[in-house]
Structure 1
Amino acid sequence: MTTHPGPADTGPAAFLRRRTGLIIPLLLLVTGVVLGAGTLTMEVPANVASPGPRMFPTVVAVACLVFAVLLGADVLRRPEPERVAAPADPGAAQAADDTAPTDGAGRTRSNHRALAGLVGTIAAFIALLVPLGWLLSGALLFWGVARALGSRRPVFDLFLSTAISSTVQLAFSAGLGLNLPPGILAGVL
């Protein structure tokens, strides 16, 4: 059975309904532009050695802009399938196509538990950064994100998180000459 698009199936709303994935490229674009503008207006002392404090923010801003363009082009080329993007009216979906799933199998679902775990982990990281220091709070951050995203190997995640946090600590202190907050390990680091 062939259905012709009705008035609700055309126009900007119908175009955007199948392209809700453009939200992430838009956020990346805004992040890249704001970071780029902040980098360009950054006051840098004249005696700063190369590469200077503008290098890393510039790399991140360019990466945000490149990924925003690439992701945006991908979403525009391959929009969401109609069954996923259709409004939540099960009667209309059934009438238009008898093979449409009626149990909601084609609908996108949110993982509220993972989102709550991520938000809780980031909040704990922010609260514990100064008292615990980067090494411990960073390890907690990486471990909590891995657990929230579904990892079921807590001991392995603990060792990996500590290794990543230590690598970042070494990169900042030895490589860039910047000190991350030492926290309770002030005499050790």
Structure 2
Amino acid sequence: MTTWLKGRSELGVSVVLVVLGVLVLTDALSIPTDFAQRGPVGPKAVPVLVGSLLLIVAVLLARDVLRGGKGEAEGGEDIDLTAPADMRTVLLLCGAFLANAALIGLVGFPISGAILFWGAAFALGSRNLVRDPLIAAGMSVVTFLIFNNLLGVPLPGGPLMEVF
């Protein structure tokens, strides 16, 4: 069995796509029809479309792999595929994301988002101690204003909510 699966790792991607598609469709079909209806297209339309497309892509990918198709190796990147993963960067990015998730309810999105943006820049190698926090704060405030004021998606403002 393992020799048959060797060289067919894309089947694992197909399985993940099927699981995601079923999950999305299950959640979509459990949405009440009277929930937030604001036009001819109900709230189920996009999730049902996305779930269906996930299943279609999974079937097409599995069919291609079973017929001998293989994904092409990435040729445009100048990387050493034998080098180990940079776990320090991955852990720093995870830490920035988890800090954002833990702090967003306490200090609001503008502050927690700035920590997230600065942490991501730091994890990816930027070490400018003046520029990076300023850009992170600016990006966070602009993102907050766009979502909260223009798009109508309320984000927790925290102590800065009174300012905006």
User: Normalising to structure 1: TM-score of the pair?
Assistant: 0.56
Pairing 1:15-34 to 2, within 5 Å after superposition: 15-20=4-9, 22-34=11-23
CA contact (8 A) 2:109 2:144 kept: no
1:26, distance to aligned residue in structure 2 (A):
3.6
Report the counterpart of residue 157 of structure 2 in structure 1. 182
Verify the 8 A CA contact 2:35 2:43 in the aligned structure 1: no
State the superposition RMSD in angstroms: 4.1
Contact 2:110–2:157 (8 Å) recurs in 1: yes
Is 1:41 aligned to residue 16 of structure 2? Answer: no
Instruction: Give the residue type in structure 2 aligned to 1:16.
Output: L
Q: Which residue of 2 aligns with 1:116?
A: 91
- From the superposition, tell whether residues 143 and 61 of structure 1 become closer, same or farther in structure 2 (CA, over 3 Å): farther
What are the ranges of 5 or more consecutive residues in structure 2 without an aligned counterpart?
74-79
Structure 1 segments, 4+ long, off by >6 Å, are none
Unmatched segments (≥5 aa) in structure 1: 1-11, 82-104
TM-score of the superposition, structure 2-length normalised?
0.62
Matched, 1:152 2:141: no
Larger radius of gyration: 1
Shift of 1:37: 1.8
Residue 109 (structure 1) shift = 2.7
Conserved in 1, the CA contact under 8 Å of 2:100 and 2:113?
yes
The match for 1:133 among 105, 108, 112 is 108
Letter in 2 for 1:163: M
**Identical-pair percentage:** 27
Deviations 1:102-140 (A, max 9, x none): xxx864633221221222122111111111212222233
Secondary structure class of the residue paired with 2:162:
coil
Cα shift readout 1:71-100 (whole Å, capped 9, x = no counterpart):
946x9322688xxxxxxxxxxxxxxxxxxx
Question: How far has the Cα of 1:60 moved from its partner?
Answer: 5.8
Query: For residues 174 and 153 of structure 1, do their structure 2 counterparts lie closer, same or farther at Cα, with a shift above 3 Å needed?
Result: same
Q: 1:26 to 1:167 in 2, by over 3 A?
A: farther
Pick closer, same or farther for the CA change 1:67–1:128 going to 2, 3 Å.
farther
Shift of 1:49: 1.5
Quote how far apart the aligned CAs of 1:41 are.
Answer: 0.8
The yes-or-no answer on 1:166 pairing with 2:142 is yes
CA distance in 2, matches of 1:61, 1:53: 14
Q: Offset at 1:25?
A: 5.0
Measured against aligned partners, the alpha-carbon deviations of 1:130-174 in whole angstroms (never above 9, x if no partner) come to 1121222223324433443x3436535862674366236513542
Indicate if the aligned counterparts of 2:114 and 2:140 stay in contact, CA closer than 8 A: yes
Structure 1 pair 184/29, CA: closer, same or farther in 2 (3 Å)?
A: farther
- Aligned pair count reads 151
